[in-house]
Amino acid sequence: MQVLVLNCGSSSVKFAVVDTDDGRILDAAEEVEGGDHEVALAAIVALLHRHEPISRRIEAVGHRVVHGGEAFSGAVRIDTEVLRGIEAVSGLAPLHNPANLLGIRALTRAFPELPQVAVFDTAFHQTLPPRAYLYAVPRPLHREHGVRRYGFHGTSHRYVAHEAVRRLSLELEQSRIVTAHLGNGCSATAVQGGRSIDTSMGLSPLEGLVMGTRSGDVDPGLHEFLAGRLGLDAAGVTTLLNRESGLLGVSELSSDMRRLEQASREGHEGAQQAVELFCYRLAKQVAALVVALGRLDALVFTGGIGENSPDVRARVLALLAHLGLELDPERNARHGADAAGVISRDRPPVAMVVATDEEWLIASETAAVLGAAGN
């Protein structure tokens, strides 16, 4: 099946046309200037119309949707009820779900004859046990308001964990892997037997690791403190933690790890501290996730930073030497390209780099949903 995959992020809109049998046919991205997703989406639709021999063979549209709450534990064909469900949890992913909805509506207008499927970042984490997803807050907050850990980047964590099992020839049901998706947004997940059992992101994509502009974990009392000191309301504090914090906030320079690594080498103190904090907090989270697994077969790096920064990987593995992870510097410099992605010594546990392919997984999920539905 040829599937148009749309991924509306907070700052860009990516798409790909994927043949689920033969692989990727066409892909591109549009940057969102001034938060105007509609302009970016219009440019993508125009591009598809210019590639008419490709667009006329598209049989379905698959959308990445960040937050599905507890309502969606798997991919679903989009209808009015599904749209209402996505809208109902948009407040839990304010940088993403509204953009996802814009994408769904734009593609519905452009290709009204095509079936559309939502593939949720949160769905992979619906296998978390209560000890991992519950917060220690009054029970009615979960029962009545859905307050719990949901987790994100599920399509990426699922893809790279299964790819690591394949490359390492592990028994899927016995495998125990930590996956680290490191990009502008970052999260780590404990995957046991192919299923997510704990993860770093929570109710929203703000919890967990240090990210490009997101703070990750902070003291919950910080909201009240900042509101009093800065005169911000709750939404203002959340915006500060989502858009002005993380690598950008600590470095006072950039949210881009590539620029920070260069500035660190040039002696920029803020950049040095931002990179060190990023790696330290990631190593702490990986070690914590090994508690959930009981043992570790592999630590998998993916995402823009995870796939392309030997320095970040080396720093993290140095902090995790007590787990038995031993970096091979030459393999790491080559991103594991000639060793099936492995960047450590061959004895377990191993560290490896696996390039994520969320678009392929979304296309496959879309085809599976429509095949099961007879469409």
Which residues belong to the active site?
A: 121
SS3 per residue for 258-287: HHHHHHHHCCCHHHHHHHHHHHHHHHHHHH
**Cβ pair 64, 5 in contact under 8 A:** yes
The encoded tokens of residue 56 equal 């006329």
What is the signed CA dihedral for 200, 204, 205, 209, rounded to 10 degrees? -40
Output the CA angle 153-345-156, nearest 5 degrees. Answer: 10
Q: Tell me how far the alpha carbon of residue 356 is from its chain's centroid.
A: 10
Nearest to 283 by CA among 328, 321, 242: 321
Strand partners, 351: 299
Angle at the Cα of 132 from the Cα atoms of 74 and 100, rounded to 5 degrees:
35
